[in-house]
Structure 1
Amino acid sequence: MDKQPPQQQWQQAVTAYAQAINQYVAQGQAQGWDHLEEPQPPATEHLLDAWLAALQSANRPGVDEQAHQAFRQAWPPAHQPLVPLLDEHAQGIATLLLLDDGSVLARIGMPHEKGQVVRIDGNSVTPVIGVEHFGRCPERRYFALANAEGVRVTDGWGGPLVQRLAWPSGLEGLPKGYPFEPFEMPPTPTALIPFANGQQVLLVSDEGIFLLAAHGATRLLPQQQQVLDDLAEGIDPDDINLGLSMAHGTVSADGRLIVVGDQCSRHLVLDDNLQVVAQVGPVSEYPHFALFNAAGDQLMLNACHFYSGATLAVRVADLPGLDTDYYSDDPRTPVIQEGARVYAGVAREGEYIVGDAYGYLRAFAEDGSERWQHFIGSTLCALDISRDGRTLVAGTYAGFVAVIALDTGRPDWQIGTGPHAETQRWLFWKGWDKPLRW
Structure 2
Amino acid sequence: MDKQHPQQQWQQAVITYAQAVNDYVAQGSAHGWEQLEEPRHPATEHLLDAWRAALRKVNQPTVEEHQRQAFRQAWPPAHAPLLPLLDTHGQGIATLLLLDDGSLLARIGMPHEKGQVVRIDGYTVTPIIGVEHFGRCPARRFFALANAEGVRVTDGWGGPQVRRLAWPTGLEGLPKGYPFEPFDLPPIATALIPFPDGQQVLLISDEGIFVLSEQGASRLLPRQEQVEQALAEGTDPDDIILGLSMAHGAVSPDGQWVVVGEQANRHQVLDRQLTPVASIGPASEYPHYALFNRTGNQLLLNACHFYSGASLAVRVSDLEGLDTDYYSQDPRTPVVQEGARIYAGVARQDEYIVGDAYGYLRAFGEDGGERWQHYLGSTISAMDISEDGRTLVAASHAGFISVIALDSGRPDWQIGTGPHGEVRRWLFWKGGDKPLAW
TM-score by length of 1: 0.99
Q: Does 2:272 correspond to 1:272?
A: yes
Q: Does 2:38 correspond to 1:18?
A: no
User: 1: distance between equivalents of 2:120 and 2:402?
Assistant: 11
Alignment of 1:32-431 (within 5 A): 32-431=32-431
User: 1: distance between equivalents of 2:233 and 2:19?
Assistant: 60
User: 2: distance between equivalents of 1:199 and 1:273?
Assistant: 13
1:208 is aligned with what amino acid? G
Write the deviation string for residues 87-126 of structure 1: whole angstroms up to 9, x where unpaired: 1001100000000000000000000000000001011100
User: 1: distance between equivalents of 2:60 and 2:47?
Assistant: 20
User: 1: distance between equivalents of 2:402 and 2:203?
Assistant: 26
State the Cα distance separating 1:61 from its structure 2 match: 1.7
State the Cα distance separating 1:283 from its structure 2 match: 0.5
Q: How many residues align?
A: 438
User: 1: distance between equivalents of 2:199 and 2:308?
Assistant: 37
2:146 is aligned with what amino acid? A
TM-score by length of 2: 0.99
Which SS does the other structure have where 1:343 is aligned? strand
Which SS does the other structure have where 1:77 is aligned? coil
User: 1: distance between equivalents of 2:62 and 2:128?
Assistant: 24
Write the deviation string for residues 376-421 of structure 1: whole angstroms up to 9, x where unpaired: 0000010000000000000100100000000000000000000000
User: 1: distance between equivalents of 2:61 and 2:81?
Assistant: 26
State the Cα distance separating 1:217 from its structure 2 match: 0.2
RMSD of aligned C-alpha atoms?
0.6
User: 1: distance between equivalents of 2:140 and 2:394?
Assistant: 18
State the Cα distance separating 1:295 from its structure 2 match: 1.0
State the Cα distance separating 1:317 from its structure 2 match: 0.3
Which of structure 1's runs of 4+ aligned residues deviate more than 2 A? none
User: 2: distance between equivalents of 1:258 and 1:385?
Assistant: 21
Write the deviation string for residues 286-333 of structure 1: whole angstroms up to 9, x where unpaired: 000000100111000000000000000000001011000000000000
Which SS does the other structure have where 1:199 is aligned? coil
1:107 is aligned with what amino acid? R
State the Cα distance separating 1:171 from its structure 2 match: 0.3
State the Cα distance separating 1:233 from its structure 2 match: 2.3
Which SS does the other structure have where 1:49 is aligned? helix
1:354 is aligned with what amino acid? V
State the Cα distance separating 1:143 from its structure 2 match: 0.3
User: 2: distance between equivalents of 1:161 and 1:208?
Assistant: 26
User: 1: distance between equivalents of 2:398 and 2:231?
Assistant: 43
User: 2: distance between equivalents of 1:272 and 1:68?
Assistant: 49
State the Cα distance separating 1:267 from its structure 2 match: 0.8
User: 1: distance between equivalents of 2:376 and 2:93?
Assistant: 14
State the Cα distance separating 1:236 from its structure 2 match: 1.4
Which SS does the other structure have where 1:299 is aligned? strand
User: 1: distance between equivalents of 2:93 and 2:292?
Assistant: 23
What are the ranges of 5 or more consecutive residues in structure 1 without an aligned counterpart? none
2:305 is aligned with what amino acid? H
User: 1: distance between equivalents of 2:234 and 2:4?
Assistant: 73
Which SS does the other structure have where 2:412 is aligned? coil
User: 2: distance between equivalents of 1:72 and 1:197?
Assistant: 43
Write the deviation string for residues 23-76 of structure 1: whole angstroms up to 9, x where unpaired: 000001100111111001111000000000000000112111111111111100
User: 2: distance between equivalents of 1:414 and 1:38?
Assistant: 17
1:403 is aligned with what amino acid? V
The residue aligned with 2:434 is 434
